[in-house]
Structure 1
Amino acid sequence: MTDGDRTLTRRETLRAAVALGGSTGLAACLDLEGQPTEAGGTDRGTDRPAGTESEAELPSRQHAWNEFSRTDEHGNPVPARHHVLLLADYVGDGPVNDGDRTQAENAFRELEETYRWGSDGLLFTVGYSPAYFDRYDEPLSELVDLPQPAALAPFEDPSFDTPDLLVHLASDRASAVLEAKQALFGELETANGSEVTETIDGTVDLIDRRTGFIGAGLPAEHDDVDGVPDGAVPEDAPLFMGFKSGFRQNQATEDSVTIAEGPFTGGTTQHLSLLHTELEQWYNQDSREQRVAKMFSATHAAKNLVEGVGDNLGDSSLVAETGVADRVEDDAFEKGVVGHAQKLARTRDEGGDPRLLRRDFATVDDGQTGVHFLSLQEGITDFIRTRNAMNGDDVANVGGVGTKNNNGILQYVTTVRRGNYLLPPRSKRSFPRPS
């Protein structure tokens, strides 16, 4: 595949194929995944692992991904490389009928029988917005914290996503996320070598499709996108802003974000934002030391705690170990800068554990670099609390810190869209009733 006069690399072609979608994108992925890689051998997952026949082998929680994903040398879960988000509306008026509910569950179950549950096969969740539950006369259980999406800072003006449902597909294999989407919507006769017999076609209208990627080297493959300084993104960075995230010690556990009581026990809530990133400013305006200070803390920068993209940090960003969360106001006054991770650490629970489990990934969907920021938490209030801490209102105009300038990474991200969703347990994932 070429882009003008330039031949795309293998990884670029896979990412481009996911973004393209459809039969053309899928054909390109299947062809490329069967070819030798630049490093020799073949692509991870080209053994095309078979699906999961026994439901007893599947987790009761849709969001139980960590056990079924790779880990790095420090024990951090490694996210799947390719992602597709499908936003859809139910075709009927009012509550969903039982026939459509059964049809959806048969389709989701067939995906599990087609692909092994795991990042080398397919992981997926199905979430429902507050707008979906408005279809019912009965209110959503008061034990579920699921408000309508809202702007969460005075400088935000996002659009709000209110589809009935959101399907998140994730895999190390680009072909799997493309094929799974087409199988769900009845666009294929076979998927992963199995006959497609069950679909959600006719029960929902697809209103948007979004894509993304995460992993060492993938962002650097896309420095030809508008707004990316040539060669600025580190070659081994997993995200566009050049640093590793998802440290195990800085993530909530799957257990802690699980709803503990009520009709949706075993589920969780999901927030999804689309954030555009301003990389010209990030890389050209700031030095490496300033970027470390804004992403982590002034202490991290002064003590050279972060090497490269941060692999040396192990399983923690060291915000707790260095005590920088207690120095936010002091650093604003004395250093003229506060760090993003430093601010967020102030929202940990009484035991010192994080409240959010992040599963975000990079995107160039709009021809602009960004992040699909996806977080799981027991209730959306936990996300709002964390986002308020990111705003740093208490240190704005203290020392050299402004409302956005030198206030973590606020100056470099723009919130474009927001949406909130309930991820029911697997047993209720197909058009759930409110209680």
Structure 2
Amino acid sequence: MTDRPAELTVVGIGADGWAGLPGTATAALATADVILGGARQLALLPAEVTAERVAWPSPLLPALPGLLADHRGRRVAVLASGDPMFHGIGATLLRYADDVRVIPHPSSVSLAAARLGWPLADVDVLSLVTAGVEELHPLVHPGRRIVVLSRDGGTPAQVTALLRERGFGDSTVTVLENLGGPDEKITVGTETPAGPLNVVAVECGTGGVARSRVPGLPDDAYDSDGQLTKREVRAVTLAVLGPRPGELLWDVGAGSGSIAIEWMRTHPGCRAVAVESDAVRAGRIGANARALGVPRLVVVEGRAPAALAGLPAPDVVFIGGGVTRDGVLEAAWAALPDGGRLVANAVTLESEAVLTAWYAKHGGDLIRLAVNRAAPIGGFTGWRAMMPVTIWSTIKNETITQ
């Protein structure tokens, strides 16, 4: 006997309730045996919809497989806010059911863009329903338009506070509440408390500090005790690492966390684990990650290779410190899948010798990067050389060509 429902239809519903649904949606709900949804969505259904109504338990995800199994063989409909496939329950249900039919409703983002006259293709969208407000940082640039999906009524004030902190206090912030419903409300500014169902539209001002998403942020963007991959080396290292959406990076010997942070800033789908043995530096990595818009960076306090045990398998490993420590390179290499990438930097003769030996065994590319920065010399200006950095990169089990 299958644990799946006989039919599973996900219906998007807006604040306008039953009256705003198309015929396909009302027919699916009228013929369902059971309807699952939030209490607010279920209350929007009229009395003539006679299906059994089941409100979502909390927490939902652990209970979802059992909930679907309880209704196996029945026609099940699920109510979701707006577009179920846009930060909604639709994508989650596809992991638990073989055949899911989705009937979308306009999302709150689409409704907000329509109310404001903003071309949706030119708008950045961020959901703060389950994320920290710090994730807004990478999107804040002069003149950009952003639509934020709020967690609750406190989100608009959090967004405004972040903009002021960044120097973008001249931004126009519009709060749109209960979009599509009879009590829809649009307010410019955040001086009054917002209701729980709101989205925040931001038109960024021009007075603040803008930070590029291209790797190589200024060194002073980081709080650091000096254990920082310098800007020029960092930009080259990230280019060699080659972030791709969805990949997981291990940043071993993370120092100030700059490599992991800028890896994650390249795309919202990029993930990273920063491993750092010093407790103070590990705390600093977390603070840097929040300040630069990637609060989901996972920071592991511990010394490699022992600290690497049990971590989720990486797609890419960067070793910025510790290549001379017994077992670090071996553990990183063992953790990588075939086709995984390994990049390691060295600044001492001893660490360079280790990388040279691994290069001879596993191939790849070996480069030395020398950077000179202009600096005052008395009343004049001259070049001051930074310590050269050797960068070794390779792909696991790729054919060696030298």
TM-score bracket, shorter-length normalisation: under 0.3
TM-score of the pair, normalised by structure 1:
0.22
Structure whose alpha-carbon radius of gyration is higher: 2
Structure with greater strand share of residues: 2
